[in-house]
Amino acid sequence: MERAKRLGLVVGAFAGALLTAPLMVVFFFGNRLFGLPFPPFDLFDWVGRVLPGPVVTFGIDSMIDLMRLVGLDVADTAKLAERSLALVQFFVGGVVVAALFFAFLGLRRARAGHLDGLAAGVLLGLPVVVISLSISQARVSPIVGGAWMVVLFLAWGLALAWAHRRTVAAAEAAGGGGERAVEALDRRRFLVRLGAASATVTVAGAGVAAFLARGERESVSASSMAHRTETGKGTPFPNAMDPVVPAPGTRPEYTPLKDHYSVFIRTEPTVLEAADWVLPITGLVERPMRLTLEDIRTKYPVHDQYVTISCISGRVGTGLIGTTLWTGARLADVLADAGLQEGARYLDITAGDGYHETLDLELLETEERVLLCYGWDGHPLPVDHGFPLRIWIPDRYGMKQPKWITGIEVTDTYRKGYWVERKWDKNAIVKATSVVDTVAVQAAAEMNGETLVPVGGIAFAGVRGISRVEVRVDGGPWQEARLRAPLSESTWVVWRWDWPFEEGEHTFEVRCAEGDGTPQIEEKHGNRPSGASGLDHETIEA
Ligand SMILES: Nc1nc2c(c(=O)[nH]1)N[C@H]1C(S)=C(S)[C@@H](COP(=O)(O)O)O[C@H]1N2
Ligand SMILES: [Mo]
């Protein structure tokens, strides 16, 4: 009996693995080809939303620490890591349900019939289907999506019951003695064949999916080419003539779109169709409106603004910061059109992925630059970055600035934003920060008998600007760096300092001061709840 129980658990887990992997691949196909739901991501997104804020934050922090520990670029790999976790979570779920199923039948000494199989399918599938339908961003109707998931989960259950009959149940029927060897051989043969079939489906599926994903990327960039306007590219940058040339190895002053960091709460970006998108402006307004994208683009003056945006969860020196040209209509112009009623105090801005944030209307009294933004780099907003509409609020971390906006309600009551509910700062004003990007020893040059090494990086303090950047070597005196004129008053500043070369190991630290002279906070503090502070440094061996 003991042996049978153990055998049941092990073989069950094994069969579960062999059947869950192809199930996931089939789901992936349905998703890529027909926009059907992909439950592993939905499940993961749901877990992230219902878990208490501190648990989620701890999870994200640990993941990021681990990635930094092994030297991965967080901005590049965070989503990949999340997606991998989502797949593992679903896979483990399938394995556990299968193992329990085998163990349960073992206790009953039963042979799995079709009904048992269907029950297993329901056990794994029912919660997943309910969760997926409640959260999915699939482009098919819930009935089609639901039916598809039900069919696949039931098929998974039936296959599991079949695997049970061919393995453990066969063992019980065979009884003891010499037949045991025969059934063990049979079982092994069956599992090997099942394994081969599963591996074939999974590997071939992954290959074809990778191929399809490549096609998709190409079509996305092709369509953004077609939409290309004359803003941005083609026109020289406003600081093109600035004499301060960035030290070689400094990040690009204008971030290539494909390299711009991207952060969103879901495993996958939210896809909204321009054709059926409207922006309702409701609540305490004189004239409730429903604006199409065309309305927003054509009814209001167009504003272009070079903007640096950064994420509050970044550490000192983070890659979660980027600069591009934002294009949009001023929020104030749109609100003037709607007419605010007496008592209007906040905007409750909602988004297609369930994200939401609150804007205090008091801010608009002193800050007219807030944009409802539909363009980046002269293109329509990329899907990852909030197509068709996002907001820009100067001086705030990204978390205050919803992408994929689907509604603006004018209210008299304050509602915490998505991340504020999860204990992040409700104002989220960007902290001044400065970063060493490069100590370009390979670009050393002779100047008046001295060997000078260009050192450089960026400094950023929202629209408060940067008035000074200083560098020190090995804890020595602070030396003033040269500042390149920024692309605009709302972007980072590129700085450069030429270091009189000395052999050996050296540590370079940088600090900055805001436009009005306020020094950056040198005291080390983690990102939570208001954004990281402390000095960035870079150590070299020359
Ligand atoms: N709808 C929506 N908007 C959002 C988010 C989100 O998850 N959903 N994340 C916010 C956060 S935390 C940041 S840092 C910025 C990132 O913008 P980017 O991806 O274009 O760099 O988007 C903000 N707006
Ligand atoms: Mo963020």
The residue type of 36 is L
Which residues are found with C-beta within 5 Å of the ion, ligand 2? Answer: 263, 311, 398-399
Q: Model confidence over 77-119: pLDDT tens digits?
A: 788 888 999 999 999 999 999 999 999 988 888 888 999 999 9
Is residue 234's pLDDT more than 70?
A: no
pLDDT exceeds cutoff 50 at 392: yes
Determine the distance separating the centroid of ligand 1 and the alpha carbon of 404, expressed in angstroms: 9
261 touches ligand 1 (CB under 6 Å): yes
Q: Which ligand is nearest to the CA of 357?
A: 1
- One fold for both 257-411 and 433-541? no
Judge whether residue 226 has pLDDT over 50: no
Give me the CATH code for the 433-541 domain, please: 2.60.40.650
| Separation between Cα atoms, residue 45 and residue 41, nearest integer Å | 6
pLDDT digits (tens, 9 = 90+) for 308-361: 999 999 999 999 999 999 999 999 999 999 999 999 999 999 999 999 999 999
pLDDT confidence of residue 410: 98
Higher pLDDT: 170 or 501? It is 501
Average pLDDT of every residue of the chain: 91
- The alpha carbon of 26 and the centre of ligand 1 are apart by a number of angstroms equal to 30
CA distance 394 to 53: 26
4 pLDDT higher than 60: yes
C-beta of 349 in contact with ligand 1 (< 6 A): no
Closest CA relative to residue 388, chosen from 313, 302, 278: 278
pLDDT digits (tens, 9 = 90+) for 411-470: 999 999 999 999 999 999 999 999 999 999 999 999 889 999 999 999 999 999 999 999
Overall average pLDDT of the 492-517 stretch:
97
| Number of Cα atoms under 13 Å in the Cβ half of residue 33 | 10
Q: What is the pLDDT of residue 236?
A: 86
The amino acid that residue 22 corresponds to is: P
CB 404 near ligand 1, within 6 Å: yes
Report the 10 Å Cβ neighbour count for 65.
11
pLDDT at residue number 214? 63
Residue 54 pLDDT grade (very low, low, confident, very high; cuts 50, 70, 90): confident
Measure the CA angle with vertex 256, ends 251 and 257; round to 5°: 140
Taking the CA of residue 265 as reference, the ligand 1 atom at the shortest distance is 7
Q: Which atom of ligand 1 is nearest to the CA of 264?
A: 7
Q: Is the CB of 424 under 6 A from ligand 1?
A: no
353 lines ligand 1 (CB under 6 A): yes
Tell me the mean pLDDT in the region 194-199. 91
Query: Of 62-71, 244-253, 273-282, 365-374, where does mean pLDDT reach its minimum?
Result: 62-71
- Quote the pLDDT of residue 220: 42
**Residue nearest (by alpha carbon) to ligand 1 atom 16:** 263
Superfamily of domain 257-411: Oxidoreductase, molybdopterin-binding domain (3.90.420.10)
Structure tokens at 452: 């000078």
At residue 224, the pLDDT reads 37
The reply to whether ligand 1 has any atom less than 6 angstroms from the CB of 60 is no
Which pLDDT score, from 0 to 100, does residue 221 have?
Answer: 39
Can you say whether the dihedral through the CA atoms of 283, 287, 288, 291 is positive or negative? Answer: negative
For range 268-291, the mean pLDDT = 96
pLDDT at 174 over 80: no
pLDDT of residue 232: 46
pLDDT above 60 (res 253) = yes
Minimal-distance CA residue to ligand 1 atom 20: 385
For residue 279, the CA-to-ligand 1 centroid distance in Å is 18
Contact yes or no for 157/121 (Cβ under 8 A): yes
Once rounded to an integer, what is the mean pLDDT over residues 134-140? 83
Determine the Cα–Cα distance for residues 259 and 262; give it in Å rounded to an integer.
9
pLDDT category of residue 61 using cuts at 50, 70 and 90: confident
- Name the E strands within 32-135: none
- Looking at the CA of residue 356, tell me the nearest atom of ligand 1: 1
To the question of pTM greater than 0.75 for the whole model, the response is: yes
Nearest CA to ligand 1 atom 22: 398
> So where are the chain's domains?
2-220, 257-411, 433-541
